[in-house]
Structure 1
């Protein structure tokens, strides 16, 4: 069994709201009015009985002094004309003039005809003297007052009066009926006014709802709703009319589009076939162009690697030329000195001092030849290993710190005239098994980029190379310099091919592209760049290794 949602109409909500507000307002105002009137009536009757008690007490003072109870009762019988007075009792103090509250005895009394006698009130006189008390269950009011001697100020006795509350109840009842009648009349007027205002508000809304229902069923969007006398509903009517105009325009455009669509459907199959053939041809051309582009890119990258190797060869050759030239010069001098010594020996003119000088010069020249030949051998060995690494794509086990030192030694011809410092932070005993060639080419490109681009117009720069194991199976290489950094527009595409700041000055724009390809393809790793202009660069390279150990 499904729950039914109770929906209220604007008419019922309007009536409920108006009548609720009117009812609450009338109840509150009537309650306040009744409370004020009852309080006023009560104060009036209390004042009247207190005043009456004081008057009777003053007239009874002489009788108390003279102890004339008979005369006092005759006077009290004159109260028979006051219908509201039920009982009056005069009490006399036994110890006159001694205290305000002393023991009293009944002296004289008045009881209305037909009214029953009441019990003595000696013990309640002091309580009733503070304020009159209503006895609601018996509908009467009680009060007591002290009777004073006007000459001495002493207490002669007490007067007790019990008064009927019929007049007070009658006034309260009449006031309640009047207030209730006024409330009913005002509620009726409020209801009639609410119905009137409700019709003024809901009638235009109902017309608008009927119009919208009729329009939605008939789909006649050319119809327009009339304006109403209520400003908000008039604005709503204008908005509905604007919406209908736009719907009509949209429907007209939709019909035109459908007509065009029907016309196009007739030739759609032929157009699809033609475009499919054109797309196949374009795809084929695109595939061929892409293959040529990849071939061209690989060729350019290979040329870049060979050019880098050629620069290294030229630098190493120039560097090797110096120690070999010094060795040749020293050996020539040795030959000349040997010829002189040999001639003196044959002529038997050889002196001990000349022989000693010859031995000293021979020792010095041989040391020069040894040092320079050893230097040349180190350069050639380092270059040989770098060249083998660049041409090899197979894994080998090597000491990473030694590989970096060999690379720096091969770059020495290009770095020796510069004042830049290269700091290597790597465990000298760490050996890894991976491809040395890509690492060789990566470090060469990064160092040369720093020298050419990062340290431009910087006399002395700092390069940090940090190598460590990220995990037993992954190697982490951090390259950092304090150069001028990379601009934002270049940093976003630094690894794209042909991106360079030295366009027309010898820069090919393939250095970082080659680094990216070597890291991601040759080493199956990842490379991230952090750089801000003026703050240097930091490359973090992480790639897997076959094994690692310390020696």
Structure 2
């Protein structure tokens, strides 16, 4: 295929009308014609300039020769003499128009009057007084015609000489270059057609010019190509044998690799399943801890309610007995009413507290167990989350500060927000405040370009360089062997990036740890199959 392309390329580059000889002659002829035309134009312009200077000299001669005689004739009104002098001026070379006028009624002219711009005017004076005007016009067309004839003659002579020179140049170029290149091209074409690279058989003229150098270079190239062709043939045969062996080896290794890939895929599926189970266990563990805390928190107001109920019941029995015996006094009834009001107030306060705790826990637990998108006030929801985590803060002096607008809302998975904030708070309590008595957690939220930006920070011990690099990796924990699974922050990362379609990253902080989350204000629920 390469050989055919080479032959076609050579055949396409060898038509006669693309010959170097004819191109040299053509370029020489075009350059010669251009130079001849330029020389002719310069000759015409130069000749015209010389004639113009000659006209000016003639005007000066006419002024010196005819001024005095024309002045005398015009002064004495010798019209015959004036006409004779006008005719004499007309007989001068290249004069086409002459006119003599005075200030009165003499007006003698000869020739066709040209445009006023081509007329030269000379004053006629007598005894120092101007008495008339001599107007003279030269025949510029005749001058240009004469210059053109001279230029054409020069051009013809130049073209004839250049044609002879081009013929001689063509003969020399053909003998020294074109003939030898054509012969070399024919031999190259013959070798390409025969698919052999033998040296050229063109005889050198012994002058070692560029053609001889080209022939020598081609012969060296032919020898190299013959050697390379033999090496290529041997290499192709060897390569064919290696390819057969390689195909068999690749086939065998492909089968082994496919078996390994299948085993890895199965292992990966098992790991994913185990990871999902661990994450679900982490979520249930978090929810279980929340249940235990809420149960303990609700136990206090309910215990007070039971005590108050027993207290009220004892007073009620005593008052009823007094009443039935008819021994009840007005003072006893007033004291009973006061006790009832105080007891009912305590009952109402504790029952409201229990109801509020149950409501907060119910909302948060429903969000975590039954995920769905709903619209909620962010500040109120954060407070509900903190309410469910309040038992964790009764055991220490840590506190939470929330900086969030009371009209900031979101429409997303509320349970996912609860899981993220809960895990971050638990991380601060377990790791950040491990050796700190009074820690501060700050939760800041604001709207920015249609997104909700939440910054979570604490004043704890902060994160090490290793923790900053690996904190979102699964199973990474600093509490290995102490109950830490290493899935809390990994769960946070997955919820933010996948469930909420947001971003979470470690933020700069002067002390403690800080995280910055950017979440869509409105989350679009993905289809079930996605």
Identify the residue that residue 262 of structure 1 maps to in structure 2: 241
* 1:373 and 2:351 matched: yes
The 1:206/1:406 distance shift into structure 2, 3 A limit, reads farther
Identify the residue that residue 36 of structure 1 maps to in structure 2: 46
The answer for unaligned runs of 5 or more in structure 2 is 1-11, 433-438, 509-514
Deviation of the 1:191 alpha carbon: 7.2
Contact preservation (8 Å) 2:74, 2:102: no
Contact preservation (8 Å) 2:36, 2:158: no
Contact preservation (8 Å) 2:51, 2:143: no
Contact preservation (8 Å) 1:495, 1:516: no
Deviation of the 1:360 alpha carbon: 3.1
Identify the residue that residue 455 of structure 2 maps to in structure 1: 482
**Mapping of residues 107-506 of structure 1, within 5 Å:** 122-124=108-110, 148-149=125-126, 151=127, 153=129, 155=131, 173=149, 176-178=152-154, 180-182=156-158, 184-185=160-161, 188-189=164-165, 217=193, 252=231, 256=235, 258-265=237-244, 268-269=247-248, 271=249, 274-275=252-253, 277-327=255-305, 330=308, 356=334, 359-380=337-358, 382-383=360-361, 386-387=364-365, 390-391=368-369, 404=381, 409-414=387-392, 417-421=399-403, 439=413, 441-449=415-423, 451=425, 459-463=441-445, 480-483=453-456, 498=474, 506=484
Alignment partners' CA distance in 1, 2:75 and 2:375: 138
Contact preservation (8 Å) 1:382, 1:410: yes
Corresponding residue to 1:55 among 62, 65, 75: 65
The 1:453/1:200 distance shift into structure 2, 3 A limit, reads farther
> TM-score normalized by structure 1?
0.57
Corresponding residue to 1:25 among 17, 30, 35: 35
Alignment partners' CA distance in 2, 1:122 and 1:414: 135
Contact preservation (8 Å) 1:53, 1:161: no
Listed one character per residue, the Cα deviations across residues 398-433 of structure 1 (whole Å, up to 9, x for unaligned) are 9967995865643444578312246675899x9xxx
**Mapping of residues 84-123 of structure 1, within 5 Å:** 100-104=102-106, 122-123=108-109
Alignment partners' CA distance in 1, 2:444 and 2:30: 85
Structure with greater Cα Rg: 1
The 1:14/1:278 distance shift into structure 2, 3 A limit, reads same
Alignment partners' CA distance in 2, 1:208 and 1:495: 77
Deviation of the 1:300 alpha carbon: 0.7
Alignment partners' CA distance in 2, 1:519 and 1:167: 96
The 1:511/1:356 distance shift into structure 2, 3 A limit, reads same
Deviation of the 1:296 alpha carbon: 0.8
> TM-score normalized by structure 2?
0.59
Corresponding residue to 1:537 among 500, 517, 520: 517
Deviation of the 1:316 alpha carbon: 1.0
Identify the residue that residue 107 of structure 1 maps to in structure 2: none
Contact preservation (8 Å) 1:86, 1:162: yes
Alignment partners' CA distance in 2, 1:399 and 1:145: 109
The 1:251/1:364 distance shift into structure 2, 3 A limit, reads farther
Alignment partners' CA distance in 2, 1:242 and 1:308: 82
The DSSP-based 3-state class of the residue aligned with 1:498 is coil
After TM superposition, the structure 1 stretch with the greater mean CA deviation from structure 2, 410-419 or 169-178, is 169-178
The DSSP-based 3-state class of the residue aligned with 1:542 is coil
Deviation of the 1:65 alpha carbon: 8.1
Deviation of the 1:484 alpha carbon: 6.3
Alignment partners' CA distance in 2, 1:267 and 1:479: 58
The 1:168/1:459 distance shift into structure 2, 3 A limit, reads closer
The 1:190/1:448 distance shift into structure 2, 3 A limit, reads farther
Identify the residue that residue 114 of structure 1 maps to in structure 2: none
Alignment partners' CA distance in 2, 1:545 and 1:49: 108
**Mapping of residues 514-529 of structure 1, within 5 Å:** 516=494, 527-529=501-503
Identify the residue that residue 111 of structure 1 maps to in structure 2: none
Deviation of the 1:297 alpha carbon: 1.7
The 1:258/1:327 distance shift into structure 2, 3 A limit, reads farther
The 1:202/1:478 distance shift into structure 2, 3 A limit, reads same
The 1:484/1:185 distance shift into structure 2, 3 A limit, reads farther
Contact preservation (8 Å) 1:500, 1:509: yes
Contact preservation (8 Å) 1:425, 1:465: no
The 1:332/1:191 distance shift into structure 2, 3 A limit, reads farther
Deviation of the 1:166 alpha carbon: 10
The DSSP-based 3-state class of the residue aligned with 1:461 is strand
Alignment partners' CA distance in 2, 1:454 and 1:246: 77
